[in-house]
Amino acid sequence: MSAMEPAVESADTAAFWKFLVVVDETPECNNAIRFAALRAAKTNGGVTLLYIIDPPDFQHWMSVEEVMREEAHEEGSALLQKAADRIADEVGLKANMLIREGKAINEILKVIEEDPGIRILVLAAGTGKEGPGPLVSSFSGQMLGTLPIAMTIVPGHLPTDQIDQIT
């Protein structure tokens, strides 16, 4: 065991070492999911998948807002289930799935605060000319010193075999 891996003393303590992955529709998200699943499997840990719904700015008709919210929950549930199924198939772990509504950074910090078993935030960096993405930019920038857990940023361009090698 290296100094970077958690010391897992029993099945009871293993359940408390979790990797948090923010799930979205971007292709690079698959890299973060794979990395977290493989690390969790190798360290007897777990994976928590988080889908965040931005609060709607549309406040004029409550019925329209409610339909938009329901559609966003359905989309999030489908994405989370697909990711959880992949994790179960590929490494045999059952992932926790969460859907939250609010500003992404705030919701991530709330989830970390609520679950002391979450020890590593895993984000995927985008490969487009827009940059690595808003979450990676925020958490690796001025918020880095305030994040209460470790963070891993997985490059979005890495092929699957390289992710497998580094986990």
Cβ contact 70:101 at 8 Å? no
| pLDDT value of residue 84 | 98
What DSSP string runs through 103-123? -HHHHHHHHHHH-TTEEEEEE
| pLDDT value of residue 62 | 64
Cβ contact 53:71 at 8 Å? no
| pLDDT value of residue 56 | 67
- Spell out the domain ranges in the chain: 27-126+143-156
Per DSSP, the chain holds a count of helices (H) and strands (E) of 6, 5
Strands (E), the chain: 18-22, 46-53, 96-101, 118-125, 150-155
Q: Mean per-residue pLDDT for 124-153? A: 87
Instruction: Tell me the whole-structure pTM to 2 decimals.
Output: 0.84
pLDDT in tens, 145-167: 788 999 999 999 999 999 999 98
Q: Which of 157, 127, 159, 153 is nearest to 140 (CA)?
A: 153
pLDDT in tens, 108-126: 999 999 999 999 999 999 9
For residue 36, give both structure tokens: 């977290």
Q: Mean per-residue pLDDT for 29-55? A: 96
- 24 or 16: which carries more pLDDT confidence? 24
| pLDDT value of residue 2 | 34
| pLDDT value of residue 7 | 37
Query: Is domain 27-126+143-156 given the CATH code 3.30.70.940 in the classification?
Result: no
Cβ contact 150:121 at 8 Å? yes
Q: What is the mean pLDDT of the chain?
A: 87
| pLDDT value of residue 40 | 97
* Alpha carbon distance 156, 126 (integer Å): 5
| pLDDT value of residue 118 | 97
